[in-house]
Structure 1
Amino acid sequence: MKKALFFLLFPVLLFAQRIETIDLSKSIKDSKNSIKSLTVIDQRTNQEIGMVMHHKDEVKIIFENDASKAIKDWFYKYNTVTGNSDMIFLLENLTISEDKKEKYSIGKLELRASTFIKKEDGYHFIDRKDTTATVSSRTTPYLGQSLARKVTLILTDLFKESYKATPWEFGISENDLPNYTSVLKDKLSILKADELKDGVYKDYYSFFTHNPESGFTLQTNDKGVVTKAVKGDDKMAIRYFYAFVYKGTAYKNIPFGYTEVFKDENGIFIEATKAELFPETVTSGVTIGAAAGGLIGGAIGAVIDISTSNKKKNTQGAKVYLDPFTGNYVLPENFGKMK
C-alpha cells in the first residue's frame, strides 16, 4: 500500500505547480483626488494569464482575486478621498508565456490596458499601455516573479499617467468601448487630411488631431534645415516638439534629427532602423526600452541634445508605425535584427 501511494504521488512531485501572485501593493495614489469611482472591465477572452517554468516546476501567474476585483481593490486601497470623475479601466490583454531555447528560456509578457473618463456625452479616452516585455533565464532564474513584477510596474505607470493626462475631446458610447480603437481612429483628422497644416505639434495628440501650436513659424538654417520654431521673441529648438509640418510635409523628431512621416492604409509611419531610433550612446540620462512588436518611444526627439539637429539621411529602414493612442513606436517583429 505504501509503495502504491508513493507511485501515485511521484508524478505530482515531479511536475509540481507553484503560484506567483501579482503583487498589487505599490502605491497608485491620485494626489489630485480627482477620481470619484473606478469601474474595471476585463474584456479578455481567456482569463488565464499564463505560466513559466522554474527548474522542473510550473509557475502559474495569477491575481489574488479575479482581475477586475484585484485592480479595483488596489485602486481603493490608495484612493479613499472621492473626487468628481468616474474612471473606466479596460483590461484588453494580459498574457505570459515562455519560449524555451536549448540552454535557457525567454519569458514574455504581453499587456494592453486603457483608461477612460465617463462624461455626460460618453467615454473619453485618457491613456493606454500596449507593451511587450521579455525576461531571460540567463539574467534571472525567477521568470515568473520577474514578469509578475513587470505587470505591477506597467499598471502602476498607467494609473499615474492617467491621473495627469487630459481626456480626449471625443466621446464614445459604452457599446463602442470594445472597439474604441477603430471608432476613435475615424475621428483623427491627420489620418483623413489631404493637405497638412504647417507648424509645430507639441505632442502626439495635437499631431493626430491636426492642431499645430498657434502663432509659431518654422525657421531654417542656411542649408534649408528646419532648426527652430519662432513665436515673437520666443524661439524653441525644433527637437522639443513631437513633430512638425514644413511646406506641406510632415516630419517626426528622432534622436539625431528628424525624418519624414508617411501615411498608408494602416496609419502613420516613418522609415527607420534600430540604430537611428535607439542609439547605443544616450547622453541625457533618459532610459529607452525596446521590445520587438511592442509599443515604445514617445517624444524621443528631445532625448539627445545636439545643436546640429538635421534631417535624417536616406537609409534603408523598416516601417515603424506611430501609435495614435500613445504617440509611441509600433516596432515590427524583426526590428531588433535590423542594422
Structure 2
Amino acid sequence: MRKLMQLAFIFVTIVAFAQTKEVIKFRGNILNYTENPYSFFKVIDQREDKQIGTLPFGEQKEMKEVVFPSTPDADFSAWYLKSNQPGKLTDFVLVLKKLKLSTGESDGKNTEGKMEFSAQTFAKTGDKYQFLYKKDTVFTFYDKEVSELMVKNIPAIFSVFIKKSYSLNPTGNLVSLNDLADYTSLVKTNYPALKEAPLKDGIYLDYISFFNQTPEQGDYVLEINNKGDVTKAVKEENGKKTKIPAYKIFAYVEKGKARKSTFSGFLDLDKDENGFYLLANRGHLFPVQSNSTYGMFGLIGGIAGAIEQGARQKKMKSGGSGKVYIDPLTGEYDFSEE
C-alpha cells in the first residue's frame, strides 16, 4: 500500500509539474525559397535571462512558464530540417539575444502583453561568421487570451525574421565566434558617421551611404513647400536637372546637421555615445493601421492579433517621445531600450 501511495504521489507530482509549463509549438515552416542553401541551422543562445516568462493561461489564469520543447538549438534545427534539404558548406546561424514575454494592464476585456525580441543571423563558413540580419524590438499584443496569443505567435515572428535573413547576402568582415557576443559594438567603429569628424553635407538615399558618409554626387538644393516640408532635392548640371523626391531620401545633411525621412516628415537626427537617434515615438514613425492585420518588421502583414508596439498611431503620437536609435547594420529603428 505504501509503495502504491508513493507511485500515486510521484504521478500527481509529474502531472502538476507538466501543467506548469506552456511549451512553444513550432508550427508552420521556415522554408528557404532563395538560391542560398544552408547545410544546417544552428542557434547560439546568448540570452542573459534564459526564462521566457511565466504568464496566466486559461479561464482560471493558471500561471505557467513558457518554455522551448528542448533547447533553442535542437528545436530550430529540427524545424529547419522539416522543410529544407541541407545544402553544402555554409551554415545558417541565429544568435538569440532576448526573448521575453510579460503581461500588463487590462481594460476588463483585453489584456496587454509584450514580447521583447532581439536576435541576429549570420552565415558561417568554416570557423568564421558573416553578418546577415538583426532585429531589436518590442511587440505588443491586445487580447482576452493574450498569453495564448503571444505563445502562438512566437514561431510566426521567428519565421518572418528567418525568411528575411534568407533573402540577404552576407556582408561585412568575417569574424570569429568570440566576436559575435558584441558584434554590433565591434562594427560600429568602422562607420565614418559614428566617428568624431563632422558629417558631410548632402543627400543620402540609404542608410549605407549615410553611415559610410558617401552622399550623392553634385550640389543638390532642397525644395520646400508652403507648409515648410521638404518635397524634393534638385541639382542642375550642364543645363540638365536631376530631381530626387523626398520619399526616396533616407536623410540629408545641411550645415553639418542631419535630418531623417520618417512617416511624419523629416525629423532631426542627433548623435550620442550610442549612435544616431530621433526624438520620437512609434506614432511618429509608423502609419496607423485600418484593420486587424498589421505589418511586422516593416516587411509583411498577416499575423492577426500581434502588432508592433504603438501601431495605434493616434494615441501614441500624442504620448511622450524618447530616443529611437537607427541601427547602423540594417537602417531600421531600434526599440530594444523600451
1:93 maps onto 2:98 in alignment: yes
Which deviates further from its counterpart, 114-123 or 62-71? 114-123
Please give the per-residue CA displacement for 1:96-149, whole angstroms capped at 9, x wherever unaligned.
Answer: 23346695743332221101123579422211122222334xx232x3331123
1:244 maps onto 2:262 in alignment: no
1:43 maps onto 2:43 in alignment: no
Aligned positions of 1:44-193 closer than 5 A: 44-54=47-57, 55-82=60-87, 85-99=90-104, 103=108, 105-118=111-124, 122-136=128-142, 139-141=143-145, 143-193=146-196
By how many angstroms is 1:161 displaced?
A: 1.2
1:320 maps onto 2:324 in alignment: yes
1:25 maps onto 2:28 in alignment: yes
Aligned positions of 1:229-240 closer than 5 A: 229=233, 235-240=243-248
By how many angstroms is 1:83 displaced?
A: 5.1
Please give the per-residue CA displacement for 1:245-299, whole angstroms capped at 9, x wherever unaligned.
Answer: 23432110012321121111222112235543345478xx98475427xxx9xxx
Aligned positions of 1:200-239 closer than 5 A: 200-213=203-216, 215=217, 217-221=219-223, 226-229=230-233, 235-239=243-247
Structure 1 residue aligned with 2:309? 291
User: Does structure 2 conserve the Cα–Cα contact (< 8 Å) formed by 1:189 and 1:208?
Assistant: yes
Partner SS state of residue 36, structure 1: coil
User: Does structure 1 conserve the Cα–Cα contact (< 8 Å) formed by 2:220 and 2:233?
Assistant: yes
CA distance in 1, matches of 2:253, 2:155: 38
By how many angstroms is 1:190 displaced?
A: 1.1
CA distance in 2, matches of 1:248, 1:239: 21
Identity level (%): 31
When normalised by structure 1's length, the TM-score is 0.74
Give the direction of change, closer, same or farther, for the CA distance of 1:111–1:276 in structure 2 (3 Å limit). closer
When normalised by structure 2's length, the TM-score is 0.74
CA distance in 2, matches of 1:273, 1:90: 28
Give the direction of change, closer, same or farther, for the CA distance of 1:144–1:37 in structure 2 (3 Å limit). same
CA distance in 1, matches of 2:253, 2:141: 39
By how many angstroms is 1:94 displaced?
A: 1.6
Partner SS state of residue 162, structure 1: helix
By how many angstroms is 1:230 displaced?
A: 5.0
1:197 pairs with one of 185, 195, 200: 200
CA distance in 2, matches of 1:64, 1:272: 39
Structure 2 residue runs of 5 or longer lacking an equivalent are 299-306, 312-319
By how many angstroms is 1:41 displaced?
A: 1.1
User: Does structure 1 conserve the Cα–Cα contact (< 8 Å) formed by 2:136 and 2:335?
Assistant: no
Partner SS state of residue 220, structure 2: strand
CA distance in 2, matches of 1:233, 1:80: 52
User: Does structure 1 conserve the Cα–Cα contact (< 8 Å) formed by 2:42 and 2:92?
Assistant: yes
Structure 2 residue aligned with 1:313? none
Which deviates further from its counterpart, 119-128 or 39-48? 119-128
CA distance in 2, matches of 1:233, 1:120: 50
Structure 1 residue aligned with 2:302? none
By how many angstroms is 1:243 displaced?
A: 1.8
CA distance in 2, matches of 1:87, 1:18: 29
Partner SS state of residue 170, structure 1: strand
By how many angstroms is 1:153 displaced?
A: 1.9
Partner SS state of residue 53, structure 1: strand
CA distance in 1, matches of 2:244, 2:130: 32
CA distance in 1, matches of 2:219, 2:89: 39
CA distance in 1, matches of 2:214, 2:128: 23
- Equivalent residues, number: 306
CA distance in 2, matches of 1:46, 1:56: 24
CA distance in 1, matches of 2:19, 2:51: 18
By how many angstroms is 1:191 displaced?
A: 0.7
CA distance in 1, matches of 2:26, 2:63: 19
Give the direction of change, closer, same or farther, for the CA distance of 1:63–1:27 in structure 2 (3 Å limit). same
Which deviates further from its counterpart, 163-172 or 96-105? 96-105
